[in-house]
């Protein structure tokens, strides 16, 4: 595991883009896992630009969603599937047949979860999985208390998670009650993990993840057991870590 503290969010985006360009240059048909959210929105704009300029080529790559709400049409603006298509997959020309996402059925079953993990393994596993982190240490929709041994599964969203999303949906009642997420064990199967965190709201979660023993209280701490985890931070997110800026 390594963590790298960079000047600001733009520097985090630039470093992540460079890692991705290297990965895709080495293996053009890489399988990549993608989160959604503020931590990656700047990166996805940079990836669009790099694709337009020919510095990054995703046209032979495979794309897997990290997580998403269930029970909404795939075209709903708050579906992560929709956001990823608009922000990244369409502009960068990822072929439709190469995109694996969670469906519209709110009754995502254990068999559906196993099928999702099997689809990843059928591609030889994720070559690189991008991740964000929640202020309480959640990863994907693996909230505090989540099992480190879980594969992809359905979760009932906590009141706190739904309140956090209420702004985007207009009201807490409009926020779906269920989501699907790669489990922590599925995440740990990826060959490379790259976690991005920016801003002071993430500082406590990052300190708990990187300086405390792994605990279900901080789901992201499960990732520190991975042999190839890179955590890219801006100064604010790294404020409670020992050591300085790169």
Q: Which is nearer to ligand GLP, 51 or 66 (CB)?
A: 66
Stretch of 32-40, 98-106, 108-116, 168-176 contacting ligand GLP, by CB under 6 A: 32-40
Q: Please tell me which residue in 67, 68, 117, 127 is annotated as part of the active site.
A: 67
Question: Does residue number 42 form part of the binding site for ligand GLP (CB under 6 A)?
Answer: no
Question: Is there binding between residue 65 and ligand GLP (CB under 6 A)?
Answer: no
Tell the smallest beta-carbon distance from residue 53 to ligand GLP (Å): 25
Q: 127, 136, 142, 226: which is the annotated catalytic residue?
A: 136
Answer left, alpha or beta for residue 47, where phi above 0 means left and psi between -120 and 50 means alpha: alpha
Nearest to 9 by CA among 244, 241, 234, 240: 234
User: Angle at which helices 38-53 and 9-26 pack, to 10 degrees?
Assistant: 50
| Cα 210 from Cα 65, distance rounded (Å) | 25
Compare residues 57 and 189 and give the one whose CB is closer to ligand GLP. Answer: 189
Q: Which of 42, 113, 140, 219 binds ligand GLP (CB under 6 A)?
A: 140
Residue whose C-alpha is closest to residue 90's, from 44, 27, 140, 25: 44
Number of C-beta neighbours around residue 55 at 10 A: 16
Distance in Å, CB of 66 to ligand GLP, minimum: 5
Residue with structure tokens 């963590």?
A: 3
- Which residues are near ligand GLP by CB under 6 A? 35-39, 66-67, 132, 134, 140-141
């Amino acid at each position: 595991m390594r963590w790298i503290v960079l000047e600001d969010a733009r520097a985090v985006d630039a470093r992540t883009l460079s890692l991705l360009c290297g990965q895709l240059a080495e293996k053009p048909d890489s399988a990549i896992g993608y989160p959604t959210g503020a931590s990656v929105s700047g990166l996805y704009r940079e990836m669009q630009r790099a694709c337009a300029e020919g510095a990054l080529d995703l046209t032979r790559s495979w794309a897997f969603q990290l997580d998403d709400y269930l029970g909404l049409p795939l075209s709903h603006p708050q579906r992560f599937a929709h956001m990823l298509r608009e922000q990244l997959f369409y502009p960068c020309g990822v072929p439709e047949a190469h995109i694996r996402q969670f469906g519209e059925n709110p009754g995502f079953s254990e068999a559906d979860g196993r099928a999702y993990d099997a689809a990843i393994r059928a591609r030889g596993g994720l070559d690189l999985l991008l991740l964000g982190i929640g202020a309480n240490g959640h990863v994907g929709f693996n909230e505090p208390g989540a099992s480190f041994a879980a594969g992809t599964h359905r979760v009932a969203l906590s009141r706190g998670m739904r309140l956090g999303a209420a702004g985007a949906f207009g009201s807490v009642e409009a926020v779906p009650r269920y989501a699907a997420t790669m489990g922590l064990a599925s995440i740990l199967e990826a060959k490379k993990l790259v976690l991005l965190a920016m801003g002071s709201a993430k500082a406590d979660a990052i300190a708990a993840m990187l300086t405390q023993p792994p605990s279900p209280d901080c789901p992201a701490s499960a990732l520190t057991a991975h042999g190839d985890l890179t955590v890219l931070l801006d100064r604010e997110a790294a404020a409670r870590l020992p050591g300085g800026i790169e």
